[in-house]
Amino acid sequence: MDEIKLYEVDGNYINFLLPYAPHLFQNRKTNQKNERKYIGVVLRVNGFDYFAPLSSFKDKHKTMKDGIDFIKVKDYAVINLNNMFPVVNGVYTYVDIGKEKDAHYRALLQAEYRYIKSIKDKILKNASTLYNIKKRDGNSTALGKRCNDFLKLEEICVQYFK
């Protein structure tokens, strides 16, 4: 699989998926300075590439342990694999960290990305395992209930440009 990279995803596409993905995050909250970044490609399945959202590290994450659907990026950010979703060409753009104007934010993205690359195999393995568990068990487990419905999102994804 190609190297994992950071991306931004078009807000219109995210809004299109939201009714079918209650766990999906908006790209930007009202008081948020920067748009949410996504890690891709974390999974390739059924002809779809999947991205997973990065979220800012919060105090509550200090006591949380990594799991199959949740991975800490040190104390910089967290990866929410349970919120991963399929993307279609044309709705995402590569984030060129070197072009970020805010030096502090650029340094944060560089640190996050260095660590993400170092745990790439874990991210890819967890994403694949999580996808298969959700596909097999649906919402019958607590894990399944906190995941997006990946198969439904694949159905919806192909309708985006129609």
Structural domains present in the chain: 5-157 (3.10.129.130)
Q: What does the CA dihedral 141, 147, 149, 151 come to, rounded to 10 degrees?
A: -90
pLDDT in tens, the chain (162 residues): 568 999 999 999 999 999 999 888 777 666 667 888 999 999 999 889 999 999 888 989 889 999 999 999 999 999 999 999 999 989 999 999 999 999 999 999 999 999 999 999 999 999 999 999 999 999 999 999 999 999 999 999 999 977
Q: How far apart are alpha carbons 47 and 155 in whole angstroms? A: 12
Cα maximum dimension of the chain: 46
Mean pLDDT of all residues belonging to the chain: 91
75: which 2 tokens? 């104390």
- Inter-helix orientation angle 103-118/120-137, to 10°: 70
The model carries a pTM of 0.92
- 90 — alpha (psi -120 to 50), left (phi > 0) or beta? left
